[in-house]
Amino acid sequence: MIKDKYNFEVFSKKPIKLMSDSGEWLADFELDLSDKQLKEFYYDMLFGRLLDERFGQLHRLGKVSFYAPSSGHEAAQIAIAKAIDWGNDWVFPYYRDNALLYSSGVPIKDIMAQMLGTRLDPAKARQMPSHPSSKKLNMFTAASGIASHIPAAAGAAIAAKIRNKGEAVITTSGEGATSEGDYHAGINFAGAQGAPIVFIVQNNGLAISVPYHKQSAAENTSLKAHAYGMPGYYLDGMDILACYYLMKDLLERARAGLGPALVEMKVYRYGPHSPADDDMRYRSKEEVDAWRKKDPLLRMQKFLAKRKLWTKKQDIKMREEIELILDKAINEAEAEGFAPLEWMFDDVFKDKPAHLLEQQKMLLED
């Protein structure tokens, strides 16, 4: 098995970190990110956090029917977004990737239009809220059927291998997805074909209310990679720099034809699974509070503060600026009004068949 550039331990039983909880650099290689890049990493994490909180507010206002809270997943998601070569690579995200989607470069107005189902949504409001996509960025819409996107991602990776133009594929999921038949079908085929793909598992420990140990006897999901003939890595997913350096290297290797990998990022979701469940029925407040102390934003703040790149005052200013950007995006998305119902009949057939024309007519007459 080929070793990664930074000597991350393959099949580690403990989550690997490069930053201590108090923000010290632990790696034995030089940090080669500029101050500007480090500050951007933090800004995007903060944006992801505030975006998630705003989705919650929109839900409570009755404007959004569904969203999957992502607070706690920011370090993992921003690291992934920063390692992707957007427009060259192919991305198959999952429904909880709010921070990743923002950091991809999808305009925030488009994200809000998709959430709110307005005319500005590039997908014409035909997907569930919280499922944006981007043709320009080669980013597929997240599938809601757990792991149903994994075979599609493996297929895209095999196609990329045949094209041989240095493209990689990235797919994300939760740990629950790795217990699905579709996950096995996709990853097995990708392994057999040596396809250029990185499978990322954001392990928040719960599939809705079901803890990991009740759905898998594997000690952690990264160990499963062994059976598929690829390296598996177990990372502290609250450590943006560990996630970034490994992702960057694995994607470079995939683009260079060195094959697939599986990366598990251990995270925690601070919110419920979705606004439809009461998380206090399956976990304790003490558990949530203990993980709050390990907040990925706090760790990055400490790391930056040691380098004089973060102050509380700057943080407050940044938050105010981000809230204004969110207000503006919501206002712009809402100003165009809801997507018309008849759009649901468009774009599938070149010439609409008679039964659809009839249904469209009935709907409009209603």
Ligand X SMILES: Cc1ncc(C[n+]2csc(CCOP(=O)(O)OP(=O)(O)O)c2C)c(N)n1
List residues near ligand X by CB under 6 A: 96, 144-146, 173-177, 204, 206-208, 273
Q: How far is the CB of 355 from ligand X (least distance, A)?
A: 29
Check if 282 is active-site.
yes
Catalytic residue, candidates 273, 281, 299, 319: 273
Min CB(56)–ligand X separation in Å = 16
Using alpha carbons only, give the angle 172, 240, 212 rounded to the nearest 5 degrees.
Answer: 45
Name 118's bridge partners: 338
Query: Cβ 151 to ligand X, closest distance in Å?
Result: 13
Nearest residue to ligand X by CB is 174
Q: Which is nearer to ligand X, 181 or 257 (CB)?
A: 181
Q: What's the CA gap between 20 and 242, in Å, rounded?
A: 11
* Tokens 């992502």, residue located: 70
Q: Which is nearer to ligand X, 174 or 232 (CB)?
A: 174
Q: Nearer Cβ to ligand X, position 73 or 253?
A: 73
| Token pair belonging to 96 | 């909880």
Structure tokens at 364: 């409009």
Give the three-state DSSP class for 356.
helix
Torsion of CA 1, 158, 94, 284, to 10 degrees: -30
Sheet (strand 90-92) strand order: 90-92, 169-174, 197-203, 261-266, 232-236
* Cα 232 to Cα 15: distance, rounded to the nearest angstrom: 12
Phi, psi of 169 (to 5 degrees): -120, 140
Q: How far is the CB of 94 from ligand X (least distance, A)?
A: 7
Q: Which is nearer to ligand X, 147 or 339 (CB)?
A: 147
User: CA 189, 264, 300: angle at the middle one, nearest 5?
Assistant: 145
Token readout for 131 is: 């499922």
**Among the options 49, 131, 253, 269, which is catalytic?**
269
Closer residue to ligand X in complex, CB, 211/257: 211
292 in catalytic set: no
Q: Pick the catalytic residue: 43, 282, 283, 319?
A: 282
| Structure token digits, residue 79 | 């690291």
* CB of 273 vs ligand X, minimal distance in Å: 6
6 noted as active-site residue:
no
Q: Active-site residue numbers?
A: 269, 273, 282
